[in-house]
Structure 1
């Protein structure tokens, strides 16, 4: 992966819907060359997919929390979480807790209900998000 690939990835991270024509002008390459580089990045598994970023607030989801969870039955817990619409990310972690999950709910009352349902699988510590200065920061340096 060279600097041109890094620039393409940076542009795509900022706006995955950027037209190839605009991207090719920005990095001074032909459209077929940019298209081929993107295809190779996909084939190499560097680009793993494309998705829309959704506004939780516009969808009526105003509360975000990170929940550290400890369970003795990982398989049942993961099955429960997979079926839970409130959990948008789940990470297996080291340390005192087994899992870290990002939970998005309508409000603190619905968060409390979700946590009550989780308690059948173990215990948790919850951190409610007060503000999000940034999110989904690019893995590619801004210096490209």
Structure 2
């Protein structure tokens, strides 16, 4: 379902992406709608899967992960890695992509040795290429509706 997103919905989505715990009453004050109107709009956005979930933003370093890496995996046999990446807690994003690589994933590791173990496990599925993230310029950017 592709619901029509108006300016009120856009602002509600922006506010929820900034703070998913913001009350419907506070959202209403900021977008100039009543709390019941905001609640109905949010229910509609959830039902149409525009809003898929509410999550906490966790700092990986606070949990002991010192390294973020991007690993590209080249494999010829479809997606035999899919079950592994789904169950490996250090792989936090994995995308099937076009081009020479079958997948690109974002991985957390506590240190270089930990990262090497993950790479070794992925090498069972094909060849890997790894880049350690030095700086993050954009992460968790708010998503807006396309301006057509």
Q: Deviations over 1:95-120 (max 9, x none)?
A: 00000101011112210111011111
1:73 counterpart (71, 77, 85): 77
In structure 2, what is the Cα distance between the partners aligned to 1:73 and 1:103?
A: 22
* Alignment CA distance shift 1:83-1:74 (3 Å): farther
TM-score by length of 1: 0.93
Corresponding residue for residue 119 of structure 2: 115
Report the Cα offset of residue 76 of structure 1: 2.5
Report the Cα offset of residue 74 of structure 1: 3.4
Q: Do residues 58 (structure 1) and 62 (structure 2) align?
A: yes
In structure 2, what is the Cα distance between the partners aligned to 1:92 and 1:76?
A: 12
Query: SS of the counterpart of 1:120?
Result: coil
Corresponding residue for residue 17 of structure 1: 21
Runs of 4+ in 1 over 3 A off after TM superposition: none
Give unmatched runs, 5+ long, in structure 2.
Answer: none
Give unmatched runs, 5+ long, in structure 1.
Answer: none
**Aligned CA-pair RMSD:** 1.2
